[in-house]
Every structure is written in structure tokens, then in C-alpha cells.
Chains A and B, each alone.
Chain A
């Protein structure tokens, strides 16, 4: 591993002094600048699973969109393996909450899309799709259209599709937010299996605190108005987790601790628009 010493010193994902301002108001005259992200910095190591939690409006989804390259930061930088992110690319696969499958493509075609774009030869492509469908237990649904699937299955397809081009980082934007509690639990297990098997670096946004603790190794707690990184918490559980983990006193204490953190912040800063007028 001596040849990769440099690589090891550079984190997988580095978020450096990120700021994001939005212009609010439809006319140029009444436009107000609202700060969505205020000086956020943290790094994610190779193979790490990090969750970002926060109340709505804390800028967590905006942050993820900037990492993906779909949005640009007002200032600051995102680096993947030391290289700056200038736009979206297949090295950062992304899963959204809903509506992101191609409704005219079958499950297998959806998963294959990124590979087609990458011009992977057909036999190889089919092999890769088959493997991913197997992991996500979707093999028998390969020829179904998204509209014929349940919400949980659709999200499994979305995860498989994002993983297909073997991304360096998997970005998940509240992927289970629209699912019922039971489906959510099973999808969390799928995600853990994917992470343990592939070793992909995962950065996930959620507002579900127990979910964040159960899945990740570190949790970035964000507070709104403006979106700031309040704390980074190390999750005290190893790779082996199960239903018992959720009943561990440390787990329950951590849930309380983080939820208090979120509630305190939203109580002390009621609806204050920390923006500065444009004129």
C-alpha cells in the first residue's frame, strides 16, 4: 500500500468552508439573500458511512446537491480524492426520495442506464445488472415497469442503478423518507448489506435520527437558519448491528441527545430569516 500513501492522506470527500446563498423573491428589486449553508467543513474517509441529520431548512439536501455537483456553492470547495468537484458525474451516484426511475424502462433497463452511457459492452453490462438485481433481491422483477412495483422496490431499483457504475461515493437524499415504517426497516438492511459488501463510501441525508444512528459511523448534526454544522458525533457501534442495537441504552441515549440538539436549535431560533437585504 506504499504506493497509495498520498491517496490515504487525502480524504475520500472533503467539504471545505462551504457557503451557499439563495436569492429569494421574484423581482430583482425585492430580492433578499438567504444563507442556506454557513461555513460547513468536514471530511469523509474511504469506505465510511456518514449521515447528515437536521430539521427541514437546515440546508442538508442543498449540501448533498453541491457534493453531487448538481448545485454550485457560493464559496468553498468539494474535493473527491483531492480533486475539486465542478459538476455531476457517475463517480458520485445519487438516490432521491422518489420519482427518479425512468417510468418507460424496465427494472433491468433502469439499472443498466448508467452503464450504457459509460459504453460498457453488453455482455459485461448484463452481468453487472444481474449481480446488482441479485443483491437487491429484484431478479424476478427484472422485466417489470416501475409503476408495477411498490415504493420500497422502486427505491431498491434506484439504489441498484446508482451503484451500477461503481461510484466512489454514494449520495442518498432522504431515500426512505416516503416509505412506511416496515418497508423502511427492510430497506435499511439492504443498504447495510450493500455498504458492507461493496465498501462504498456513503453520505446520506435523513431527518430520521434513529435511522442515522443505526446505519452510519458518524453523524453530522446540522441546524437551520443559517445551515450550520452543529456537531459531528461518532456512533459507538461496530459493523455488526441488528435489532438489538436499537434497544441498546447507548443507542437510545444518543437518539435523545441528537433530538434534543435539533429541538433546542429550532426553538431558540424561531423562523428568523438570517438574511441580509440586497439593497
Chain B
């Protein structure tokens, strides 16, 4: 049998063009440029989309505030919210509230990160330490940190300590486990190569595993920061004399929905700002891991 004897069966001969294979202008399905899966878009299109998103959100808010303008289910207008924010800034509560809340999160979350990096490095690097801590952290991770609030109020009083403790407890297990994952992702070849270059175990930890995991650790910190603010709100709702969440409760008492909106806005902007700062720090300190 020669090659010419072999006939390849054709599903669609040239005489009968398939409707599936293409339309009148050619084969295949034309790909759109704007909504292509995983497709790149030009920077200008990108910024236009961002601006459009913000405008849309503000537009919806404006629309909703005119529809729900009555009593009860009321949504304040953008102007009213802005005025409430200015009002709180003028009467001298906004800045101390902002500082009090930020301070609690900053202290609590810093402690959480330090613990998370230390234990994450150990667990991600040593199988024995991983096995030792697995049951404890597996258990503690599923104890809702918010359920510990009453306990902390008894143990630590109603000052700053229980609030900071809640921020720590509510985030530390996520930080530990996620940092451990980042550490586990350090390629084996990198560690092996370091040993054959004469590095000690300590040197490998300090000068190979840590720098490789560093940008990933910042990403972990970015992701779990939201949980830190969540814990702060719970802490302030229960017992506080100042703070952004405490001020929301106060606003509720006076039915100041405009103030509540203003405070929510502060939370959101604070989140965006901290995320931006952490991302900038990651890109500056780890040029190699920039995407």
C-alpha cells in the first residue's frame, strides 16, 4: 500500500462548506478584543474602564439616594455624606477615631505578621515542626476569633489589650498557614543548590528561603489585612470609647445615616490606601517578583 492509496475521510468536502467551521468571510470564530478571555487590553482602555467603574458606582449611589430619600430605609446623598464627614472632622472626633482604630490595627496586625512569619518559616521549612503544630493550628483556625471576644473582655479588661488581642487572634492563624505555603513554594533546586555552594541550614533559611518568600509574604499581609479590620470592628462595637466602628454605633443611636456612610467610606479608603502602600512596598523591595 502506498501513500496515495490511503484516503482520508473528510467530514466536510470542499463542495459543502460547513456552517460550523466559519461564516462567509473565513474560517474560525472571530475573537473580540475587549472581552477576550485572558486578553490584554491597552493601558488607555484600562484606565477608561477604571474611571467608568468609579463613575458608575457614584452614579448608582446618587440614583439610590434620590429613590430612597425618606425615613427608615434612607440612603444619604453624596453631598450629605461629604458634609457629615466634614462635620465630624470639624467637631474633632474623626481624627482621634481614625488614629485610635488605625493604631489598634497597626499594633495588632504587626504582632500577627511577626508571629506569622516566624511560625510560617518554621512550618514551611521543617516537616517535623509542621507535624508538631498541625493539630493545634488546625483546631485553632476553626475556632471563630469573634467568639473569643467575651473571654478576652474578662481576661484583659476593656482597654486596648483585648482589642489588639482580637486583631492578633483573628488573623494570626491565616498568616501562619499562608506564609507556610509561600515558604513551601520555594523551589527545592534552589535549596539544594545553596547547600552545594556551602551554605549552612541557617544561611539557607536567612539568605535563600526568606528572600524568596518575601514578596509572597507581603501578599499574604495584604490579603489578611481585611480580616484585621473586621476584628477591629467587632472589638470596637462591644467596648470602646473611641474608634471608627465605635462612632458608627454612636451614629446609629442618633439615626445619623449620613455619618454612618461617611465612616464606611473612611474604612474603604483606608483599605485601598493600605493595600496600595503594601503593593508599592512589594514592588520596590522585590523588583524581581513584579508582574
Contacts and interface: CB of A to CB of B under 8 A. Distances in A.
B131 to A, nearest CB: 13
A103 B197 contact: no
A24 interface: no
A117 B198 contact: yes
A118 interface: yes
A96 B189 contact: yes
Interface string B188-212: 0110111111110001000010011
A145 interface: yes
Given A145-B287, A145-B288, A147-B288, A100 B190 contact: yes
Nearest to B192: A70
A6 interface: no
Given A102-B208, A104-B288, A117-B203, A90 B189 contact: no
Contacts of B41: none
A113 B189 CA distance: 15
Interface residues of B, number: 19
Contacts of B192: 65, 68, 70, 88, 94, 96, 100
A93 B196 contact: yes
A165 interface: yes
A161 interface: yes
Contacts of B193: 94, 96, 100, 158, 161-162
B250 to A, nearest CB: 48
A99 B196 contact: no
Contacts of B187: 99-100
A99 B203 contact: no
Nearest to A87: B195
A102 B288 CA distance: 10
B212 A103 contact: yes
B53 to A, nearest CB: 31
B288 A99 contact: no
Nearest to A91: B198
A89 interface: yes
Contact of A161 (B195, B197, B203): B197
Interface in A84-115: 87-90, 92-94, 96-104, 113-114
Contacts of B288: 103-104, 145-147
B49 interface: no
A113 B197 contact: yes
A98 B187 CA distance: 10
A99 B198 contact: no
- Give the one of B193, B286, B289 with max A CB within 10 A: B193
B19 to A, nearest CB: 41
Nearest 3 interchain pairs by C-beta: A90-B198, A114-B197, A88-B195
Given A92-B196, A117-B198, 17 more contacts: A68-B192, A70-B192, A89-B196, A90-B196, A97-B189, A99-B187, A99-B189, A100-B193, A102-B211, A104-B211, A113-B194, A145-B288, A158-B193, A161-B193, A161-B197, A165-B198, A171-B196
23 contacts: A70-B196, A87-B195, A88-B196, A92-B196, A94-B192, A94-B193, A96-B192, A97-B189, A99-B187, A99-B190, A100-B187, A100-B193, A102-B190, A102-B211, A104-B212, A104-B287, A104-B289, A113-B197, A117-B199, A146-B288, A147-B288, A161-B193, A162-B196
